[in-house]
Amino acid sequence: MIRAGLAPALFFAGNLKNVVLQYLPTGGFMTTIRYCFISFFLCISLIGCTPGEEPGEAPVAADDGRIDLIIKGDHIVSMDATGAIIEDGAIAVDEGVILAIGKAADIEAEYSAINTLNGDNRVVMPGLVNAHTHAAMTLLRGVADDLALMEWLQNYIFPAEVEFVDAEFVRIGTELACWEMIRGGTTTFVDMYYYPDTIAEVIDSCGLRALISSTVIDQRSPDAEGADDSITKGIGFIERWQGRNSRITPIFGPHANYTLDADQLQATRAAAQKYGAPISIHVSESQFEVQNSQNLYGMTSIEMLESIDFFDGPTIAAHVIWPTEQEIPILAERKVGVVHNPTSNMKLASGIAPIAEMLDAGVRVGLGTDGAASNNDLDMWEEMRLAAFLQKIGLMNPEALPATAVLRMATSGGAEAIGLGDEIGSLEVGKRADVIQVAFDDVHHIPTFDLVSHLVYVSDEQDVASVVVDGKVLMQDGDVLTIDTARVRSEATELASRIQAALAARNQE
């Protein structure tokens, strides 16, 4: 993995190399010399700037001088701080890292690649960051709809989970979710569910990037007997997976401040601090939660969490629909990553999160689908569109949350909110190569006056053509390459029919 410290080194090496290459002729023998220069500067960057880095982790070119991948596009929407869009562009990728980004003609003159993704009618952009989901809940899609959060959770979801969820359920459900997310251009997600080792194994093999929460909850759950047991099991999970795969970040997932008491929340934070692990938690999702917190602690949810120093460490807070005016500055100051889940919030009628207000206050805000049982899919394009529309209608202001702000939430803003802003979220030299190509072939893209407007208000998951994570192609021209589609489809269908039969039998009792 490329450590944060390597990024500037690569950037420096890339710039220096470009300066040198300007003065070198091209072709034949000189091409070989050019590659020597590339390798030389990359080596310098490693030796000089990252002591202790494993040599095997360095982004060096293949033996024959070819790099791994060139990704081309009619337009490259970088989502960098300047909002740069490159026409007729290309990205050079090797060892999972973006080596260079620029005009396709320049990139192809400079690099030769083992694999090239062609860019005709393709818009290249960073992969989408689904910052809050419960992936395996794809298998509970449609099991209970049209209910309010607390009734839905306590009378349907929690009992169904205790009855049906085991490691096999999680494996199949997570694979199904990963297939759907790859298909839709999601390259990173933050998961919170049970049997995290199984989730990690699925991520390891399918090639996505994920922060995987070991769920902590003070009730009998599918994989633990209560809060203490789930914290102990979470520690085991962190110890097994920390540093094992650079695409997988094991974290703690305390469910919420109405399913854990103050001591249990503090104990979870203490364990997270010990291992330097982030935390993902539901915060201020419903008026019930806020009122419950008020009744129990005399404080609203965020005030309560702040009062027990819960934000002393990286925190990803899902929903945050009902923050008070006093609480929003706490989120900004404590660098809490807020995750907006517009579809779930609308479906459960939980409320409209004050996203525009939080962004204005400097809060880091990303976007997520929530689980497929409250959405009912994992389509980030739909989340983008609904995020914009929900703010506009909520504030009765069409200027609220424009397309550019939403696209940021789904890419660079989301990456920042989950603590990966230095590694992913934008297409820049030195960052990990998490890249998607969106096809602009469909008639619904004609005409194209404004690319960003189309990406947010027109494009959907069916338009995603290719998906690259960490430099590896997971989907090419619509074909998911890292998951056996037929197997997952049949396993999920078979398991779902068993759940359906058990539910039908129970309803007849």
Residues near Zn ion (CB under 5 A) are: 370
Q: Which residues are within 8 A (CB) of 268 and not within 5 positions of it... i.e. 6 or more apart?
A: 216, 231, 234, 252, 254, 260, 279
Residue nearest to Zn ion (CB): 370
Do residues 467 and 187 lie in contact, with contact meaning Cβ atoms separated by under 8 Å? Answer: yes
Residue type, 174: T
Q: Which is nearer to Zn ion, 157 or 405 (CB)?
A: 157
> At its nearest, how many Å lie between Zn ion and the CB of residue 392?
24
Q: What separation in angstroms does the CA of 443 have from each of 159, 448, 454, 466?
A: 45, 10, 12, 19
Do residues 461 and 184 lie in contact, with contact meaning Cβ atoms separated by under 8 Å? Answer: yes
Query: Is the CA virtual torsion 298, 299, 301, 306 positive or negative?
Result: negative
Q: Which is nearer to Zn ion, 45 or 341 (CB)?
A: 341
Q: Which is nearer to Zn ion, 37 or 158 (CB)?
A: 158
Q: Which is nearer to Zn ion, 41 or 189 (CB)?
A: 189
> At its nearest, how many Å lie between Zn ion and the CB of residue 297?
22
H helices present in 143-298, as ranges? 149-152, 158-164, 167-183, 196-206, 227-241, 262-275, 287-297
> At its nearest, how many Å lie between Zn ion and the CB of residue 426?
26
> At its nearest, how many Å lie between Zn ion and the CB of residue 341?
7
Q: Which residues are within 8 A (CB) of 146 and not within 5 positions of it... i.e. 6 or more apart?
A: none
Q: Which is nearer to Zn ion, 303 or 370 (CB)?
A: 370
93: which 2 tokens?
């990728």
> At its nearest, how many Å lie between Zn ion and the CB of residue 235?
22
> At its nearest, how many Å lie between Zn ion and the CB of residue 502?
24
- Compute the distance between CA of residue 431 and CA of residue 10 in angstroms, rounded to an integer: 9
Q: Which is nearer to Zn ion, 370 or 379 (CB)?
A: 370
> At its nearest, how many Å lie between Zn ion and the CB of residue 160?
15
DSSP state of 153: I
> At its nearest, how many Å lie between Zn ion and the CB of residue 35?
48
Q: Which is nearer to Zn ion, 123 or 283 (CB)?
A: 283
> At its nearest, how many Å lie between Zn ion and the CB of residue 230?
16
Q: Which is nearer to Zn ion, 316 or 331 (CB)?
A: 316
Do residues 441 and 462 lie in contact, with contact meaning Cβ atoms separated by under 8 Å? Answer: no
Q: Which residues are within 8 A (CB) of 90 and not within 5 positions of it... i.e. 6 or more apart?
A: 70, 71, 72, 73, 76, 101, 102, 103, 104, 107, 108, 119
Q: Which is nearer to Zn ion, 74 or 370 (CB)?
A: 370
Residue type, 491: E
> At its nearest, how many Å lie between Zn ion and the CB of residue 382?
17
The alpha carbon of 430 is separated from its chain's Cα centroid by a whole number of angstroms, namely 19
Q: What separation in angstroms does the CA of 137 have from each of 134, 173, 184, 224, 507?
A: 6, 6, 17, 18, 21
- Compute the distance between CA of residue 416 and CA of residue 336 in angstroms, rounded to an integer: 10
* Phi, psi for residue 412 in degrees, rounded to 5: -65, -40
Q: Which is nearer to Zn ion, 131 or 224 (CB)?
A: 131
